[in-house]
Structure 1
Amino acid sequence: MLLLIIVKFCKDKEPHTDDGNNPTYAAPKKIIPINKGIDLFKEYHKNRTKLIEPHLRRLYNDSSFIDTKFVWYSLDEIKEYIAYIEKVQKTNPSYNVTGIRLYYGAYSNKHEKFPNQQTFFMVPTMKSEKQDPKHNNMNHIPFYIEYEKGGNPIKGNFVAMDELMLDYNKKERLNPYLKSNQQEGNFSLNISRLFSSTALNNAITSLVYNESEASPPPRNN
């Protein structure tokens, strides 16, 4: 009887699970230790900021220029964006939305809040038919939506943002779509679509996400 009580007590202390296998509090696989995050931050500023900022100060003729150290989105904003991309996927089941690319960028000197500051923006990706076994991140192509004017703005053709693709096997990664899907109107290069009769009767929907809160904040004049 004592043994049964001990076993029951131990089971009661075990973490509850969603499916009987993984604890509900299990962290995502790619969570890194705190010290590693701090090391990444320090390494970036040691080998990037100290080299780049002096050049940017000369370029912008601004001896006090400090480049962006981080950008911030609220949790609600992130949830809203992911929900929107998931809705795009459900509305276009013939496509495979695979993830989100995070791009580095920089505002021009005419930007109202963050002139000349570094930023980043997000773009969803679709699966590339040309798979590279060595570089998985190259198997996902950034896209926007082309739809019939007057129709559903998130239901239509996924069109590659080839301007945002690296030159690495770029032609090979795009050709499978051009050969197999162009006749069906599912996919093509931006340049070729801009001058097609189909494109002239269509509108486009951007899925690019930006306008974050960046730091350092704007300086007082």
Structure 2
Amino acid sequence: MKTQTIQTVLLLICINLMLFSCQDISTHNESPYEGPPKDHIISVDRAQEMYDAYSQRRVPILQKYEDSIAADGSKFTPTRYAEYDLKTIKQYIAYIEHEAKEANVEIQTLRFYLSNYPASDKFPNGDVVKFPKRNSFFVVPTMAYEGKNVGFYLEDIDGVYTALPINRNGLRGKDENKMRDEPQGNVNEAGFFISAAPTLQGGGTTSIIFNEGNITPPPAGANDFGDDN
């Protein structure tokens, strides 16, 4: 009887350990809840004020310029927001964290660059321009490099997955060939988005820049802070 009781207790302990392990596996990727990020949440009133300031100080300028160069006389409506579903954002965060870990670097910040799609149907490489002339932004993860916070991409160099700064402007005056031969860990040198840099997608390179959301002008009733159409 005593032996049977001991076996029962051990069985219950094993079951509890299994349940705890399964729960840990399913939730370990979730960040712990720590309340709202300090100094980063703004009120609805402040958001409205900032939205209205953009409407008054930027939208008319964009409209006037784009309308002045429209060969077909079409009227331009500036983009007011971009949106992504939460699943995509979580997938992107998981992706860049994985890639950074593979390259043995730590992501410092996410840098949001304001940008504009070209006024054409295709990019120089033949890709379709989804939103010609539209305002947009893209996101660049950054890493620490020589006391600076720099955006980076990744490249396989001699079998080593390497993080490379994408801004040459802060690296001028240095012997780039020498520095490519003397990587610091998995960090190395590169050019900006253009000229001497390799194409940032393909050819052994990996871009981790985030873009291509839904950024069309909001339809009537969809804009949270006012209808500018």
Instruction: Flag whether TM exceeds 0.5 (same fold).
Output: yes
Stretches of structure 1 that go unaligned for 5 or more consecutive residues are 1-23, 131-138, 195-201
Residues 192 and 106 (structure 1), Cα distance of their counterparts in 2 relative to 1, 3 Å cut: closer
Letter in 2 for 1:160: P
Report the alpha carbon displacement of residue 128 of structure 1 after superposing the two structures with TM: 2.8
Provide the residue aligned with 2:54 in structure 1: 44
Q: Equivalent residues in 2 for 1:95-110 (5 A)?
A: 95-108=105-118, 109-110=120-121
Provide the residue aligned with 1:3 in structure 2: none
Provide the residue aligned with 1:205 in structure 2: 206
- Partners in 2 of 1:193 and 1:51 — Cα distance? 34
Query: Pick from 152, 156, 162: which aligns with 1:157?
Result: 162
Q: Equivalent residues in 2 for 1:68-87 (5 A)?
A: 68-87=79-98
- Higher helix content, 1 or 2: 1
- Partners in 2 of 1:25 and 1:116 — Cα distance? 40
List structure 1 runs of 4+ shifted beyond 2 angstroms.
60-63, 177-186, 189-194
Asked if 1:146 is matched to 2:147, the reply is no
Conserved in 2, the CA contact under 8 Å of 1:98 and 1:124? yes
Stretches of structure 2 that go unaligned for 5 or more consecutive residues are 1-32, 122-127, 220-229
**Coordinate RMSD, CA, aligned:** 3.0
Q: Equivalent residues in 2 for 1:1-221 (5 A)?
A: 26-29=35-38, 30-61=40-71, 62-93=73-104, 95-108=105-118, 109-110=120-121, 111-130=128-147, 139-148=148-157, 156-162=161-167, 170-171=170-171, 182-185=180-183, 186-190=187-191, 203-216=204-217
Conserved in 2, the CA contact under 8 Å of 1:146 and 1:205? yes
- Partners in 1 of 2:107 and 2:176 — Cα distance? 18
Aligned residues: 169
- Partners in 2 of 1:215 and 1:171 — Cα distance? 37
Residues 65 and 128 (structure 1), Cα distance of their counterparts in 2 relative to 1, 3 Å cut: same
Residues 101 and 25 (structure 1), Cα distance of their counterparts in 2 relative to 1, 3 Å cut: closer
- Partners in 2 of 1:193 and 1:31 — Cα distance? 38
Residues 26 and 40 (structure 1), Cα distance of their counterparts in 2 relative to 1, 3 Å cut: same
Conserved in 2, the CA contact under 8 Å of 1:102 and 1:123? yes
Report the alpha carbon displacement of residue 113 of structure 1 after superposing the two structures with TM: 3.6
Report the alpha carbon displacement of residue 89 of structure 1 after superposing the two structures with TM: 2.4
Residues 119 and 193 (structure 1), Cα distance of their counterparts in 2 relative to 1, 3 Å cut: closer
Conserved in 1, the CA contact under 8 Å of 2:131 and 2:216? no
Q: Identity, % of aligned pairs?
A: 27
Residues 126 and 179 (structure 1), Cα distance of their counterparts in 2 relative to 1, 3 Å cut: farther
Conserved in 1, the CA contact under 8 Å of 2:103 and 2:154? no
- Partners in 2 of 1:206 and 1:160 — Cα distance? 12
- Partners in 2 of 1:25 and 1:102 — Cα distance? 24
Conserved in 2, the CA contact under 8 Å of 1:68 and 1:117? yes
Report the alpha carbon displacement of residue 100 of structure 1 after superposing the two structures with TM: 1.3
Conserved in 1, the CA contact under 8 Å of 2:150 and 2:166? yes
Conserved in 2, the CA contact under 8 Å of 1:178 and 1:187? no
- Partners in 2 of 1:213 and 1:74 — Cα distance? 10
Q: Which of structures 1 and 2 has the bigger CA Rg?
A: 2
- Superposed CA offset, 1:9-52 (max 9, x none): xxxxxxxxxxxxxxx57322111111111111111111111122
